[in-house]
Structure 1
C-alpha cells in the first residue's frame, strides 16, 4: 500500500435498497436512552492556541513568482526549510503559484503558511493517482491560513485513482486550517487521518470552503479531537462516495471525539454527512444539510452519535438515516422537512416521518425526541 495509508475505495452504496423501507413505512422501534462516552470537558475551540515560531519569510524572497506559469514548488519548500528549528511564518503575497502536487508543499512543525488576499496555489496537471498540494504529515503545531488552493481535476492526465488531495493531514497534532477555499481536486479537498498507525489529534477546520472536489469535501479516517466549524462542503461529485463530509476509518483505526458544528453541506451527489463503524463520540449540531442527492446525514453502522439542532431539507433521501448496526445514537431537536426529493416533489407538502427520518430494524439504543418533521398528509 502507498505510504499515505488511505482507505480503499468504498463499495457503491445501494440507495434503492435503503429507500424501500423508507417509503413503505417504519415498524415501531424500541427506543432507549443513549449513553455517550465520557469526555474531559469541552476540548474544542474555533481558535485554538497553536505554537508558531516568530521568524517570517516571504516566499517571493526564495524565488516564487506567482505568475501562473512558473513551477513555484521548490521556492515554497525552500522558504519553509529556511525557517529556524523553532519555526515561523511563510508569507504568500497575491498571485497564482503553480504547485507540483506529486512533490507537494511539506509543512514543518511550528510553522504557519499564510496566504494573503488574492493568493492562490494551483496544482500543475498530472497523471498521478496519488498527489497532495500540501502535506501535513507527522508534524505538530501547524496553521494554514487564507487564500485558495485549486486542484486539476478537469485537466487531470490520468483516469485511475481518487487520491488527489488538497490538504492532507496525517499523524499530526495541533493543526488549524482556516479561511481557505479548496476546490477541484481529483480526490478530496481535505483529508485527516493516520500515518503508520499514528492518528491525527486536535485538528481544527474553521471557515473553510471545500467545493467541486471529485470524491469528498472532507474525509476523516483514524483521528481524534477533530473540530469542523463554520465551513461549507458543496458540489462534490465524480467518484463514490461523493459526500460533503465522510467519517470512515474502516479497519485502520478509530475516529473519536469529532464535532461538526454550524457547517453547510449542500449540492453533494452523495450524502451531506456520512458515518461508518469504528467511530464514537461524534457530535453533529447546528448544521444545514440541503439539496444533497443522498441523505442529509447517513450512519452506516456508526455508534455513539449525538445529532441535534440541525436543519435538513430538500435532500434526495431522508434528512437523517440510521442503518446497519448503528447504535447508541440520539436524534433530537432537529428540523427535518421536505426531504426524499428523489421520489417526491420538493415543494409538495406532507409526508411526515417516512419522508424525513429512516431508522432500520437492525439498529439499537436509538433515542428520538422533539424533531420537527414534514406535516402529515
Structure 2
C-alpha cells in the first residue's frame, strides 16, 4: 500500500481511546454452545462511527449463513484466546466475517475456526473465514484462521449492475492454515498489501494454493504486494497468478515444500519476483506459462525443487527445475543474481 493510502487508513480508523463496547453486554456467551451471532451483530450495529467491539476470551459460535457483518469506521478487536467458531452448515456460500461495501474497518486478534471437520455437505468451496467484498481501507491484523470449508480470507469485488472492486486492503501478521481451498484468494481489487503472514497446509479442493490471485472473468486484480510471507506445505502452488493479475510484487518470501509449483504464473503481467527463498517444491520453483508478460525474476535462492520431474528429464539443465518459462511468454527476464543450488 502506498504511503498515502496507509495514512488515510490510519486516520479514518478509530483511536484506541474511542468508544469500546463489550460483546457480553449484548448477551454474547462465548461458551462454545450458544449461537452468539445475533448478540454479536447487535453489538456491531450499536457501535457509533469510530467505535470498537471488544471480544474477550471465549468460544463464540457464529452462523456463517448469516455472517457477522461489519460496518464502516469500526473495529473488531479480539483477545488472543477469543475464537469465532463456524456452525456446521451445508450452504454453498457462507462467511464467518463479512466486510462488504463498507470502508475503514479493522479486524485484529483472535482466531476463526471453520466447519470443515463438521461440514454438512460434500460440495461447494465458498465457506470462508473472512470475506472482503467491494470494501475500501480494510486492515486485517494478527488473526489466525483455520479449517474453513473454502478460503481463510477472500478479497474480491461486487459484480452485477454495480461493479465495485475492493481497494486499499492490508493484511499483516495473519496465519491461514489447514483451510480447504485457499489460504488467501485475491480477486477483483486494487492496492492489496500482504505482509509478514503465513499461508500453510491448504488442501481439500482445487486449486489448494497458499495464495491465489484469480479475478473472475471480466475482472482484474492490480497493484498487489506480497512481502516477508511464508507459503509452505500447500497441496497446490505456493502462489498462483491466474490471468488478469497486473503489477504484482513478491519479495522476501519463503515459498517451500508445496506439492505443486512454488510460483505458477498463468497470464499475469508486470510481475516482480525478487529475493525469495524458493525450495523443495514438488514441481518447479517458478513457472511462467503462455500469456505471462513482463516478468522479472531476480535475486531469488532456489534449491531442491522438482525432485519427481528430474527423473523425467535427467538431461535437463539445472535451471529448468527452478525456473521454467514457456516459449509463448513474453518479456521474461531471469536475472543472473538468482542462485541455483
Measured after TM superposition, the shift of residue 341 of structure 1 is 2.8
Give the unaligned 5+ runs of structure 2: none
| Superposition deviation, residue 177 in structure 1 | 0.3
Q: Name which of structure 1's ranges 184-193 and 361-370 shifts more when overlaid on structure 2.
A: 361-370
**Is 1:81 aligned to residue 45 of structure 2?**
yes
Moved over 3 A (4+): 40-48, 342-345, 371-375
Aligned positions of 1:51-70 closer than 5 A: 51-53=12-14, 54-70=18-34
TM-score, normalised to structure 1's length? Answer: 0.85
1:1-377 paired onto structure 2 within 5 Å:
49=10, 51-53=12-14, 54-84=18-48, 86-196=49-159, 197-344=163-310, 352-375=318-341
The equivalent of 1:27 in structure 2 is: none
Compute the displacement of 1:117 (Å). 2.1
| Alpha-carbon distance between aligned partners in 2 of 1:336 and 1:158, rounded to the nearest angstrom | 41
CA shift at 1:254, angstroms? 1.4
Q: Offset of 1:43 from its aligned partner?
A: 5.9
Alignment size in residue pairs: 332
The alpha carbon displacement at 1:279 in A equals: 1.7
SS in 2 for 1:283: strand
How far off its partner does 1:370 sit?
A: 2.7
| Gap change, CA 1:190 and 1:358, over 3 Å in 2 | same
Confirm or deny: 8 A CA contact 2:292 2:329 kept in the other structure: yes
Give me the whole-angstrom Cα distance separating, in 1, the residues matched to 2:200 and 2:282: 15
How far off is 1:159 after superposition? Answer: 1.3
- What's the secondary structure of 1:154's corresponding residue? coil
Q: CA shift at 1:263, angstroms? A: 0.1
C-alpha spacing 1:50/1:240, structure 2 compared with 1 (3 Å): farther
1:113, 1:212 → 2: CA distance?
A: 24
Query: CA contact under 8 A between 1:222 and 1:252: conserved in structure 2?
Result: no
Residue 354 of structure 1 and its aligned partner are, at CA, apart by: 1.5
Please report the RMSD computed on the Cα atoms of aligned residues, expressed in angstroms.
Answer: 2.0
Deviations 1:91-130 (A, max 9, x none): 0000000000000000000010000121000001111121
